[in-house]
């Protein structure tokens, strides 16, 4: 599973050929979550309120890139790195 970004201690990954809806996997200090790319909603797991806000902001900024990466992964291709939140 490729890492597509990392910021503020969070690791963001996307799996190959995974089920819909388009989503990312976020890992932070033992916590993990799956977050919907289309609306930023939490699909599974748990993030702190602060990290949830950071991920939602990052998704909002990079939604088009993330959806393009999702398509690449669905086709078994390696996704591009997405600029971290600064």
Residues 6+ apart with CB under 8 A from 77: none
> How far, in Å, CA of 24 to CA of 63, rounded?
11
* SS3 assignment, position 58: helix
Domain residue ranges of the chain, discontinuous segments joined by + = 3-74
Residues 6+ apart with CB under 8 A from 78: 2, 72
* pTM summary value: 0.93
Give the pLDDT confidence of 28-81 residue by residue, as tens digits: 999 999 999 999 999 999 999 999 999 999 999 999 999 999 999 999 999 999
pLDDT band for position 8 (50/70/90)? very high
Q: What is the pLDDT of residue 17?
A: 81
């Amino acid at each position: 599973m490729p890492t597509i970004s990392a910021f503020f201690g969070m690791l963001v990954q996307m799996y190959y050929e995974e089920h819909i809806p388009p989503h990312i996997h976020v890992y932070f200090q033992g916590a993990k979550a799956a977050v919907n790319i289309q609306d930023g909603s939490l699909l599974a797991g748990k993030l702190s309120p602060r990290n949830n806000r950071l991920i939602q902001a990052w998704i909002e900024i990079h939604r088009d890139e993330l959806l393009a990466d999702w398509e690449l992964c669905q086709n078994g291709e390696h996704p591009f790195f997405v600029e971290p939140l600064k």
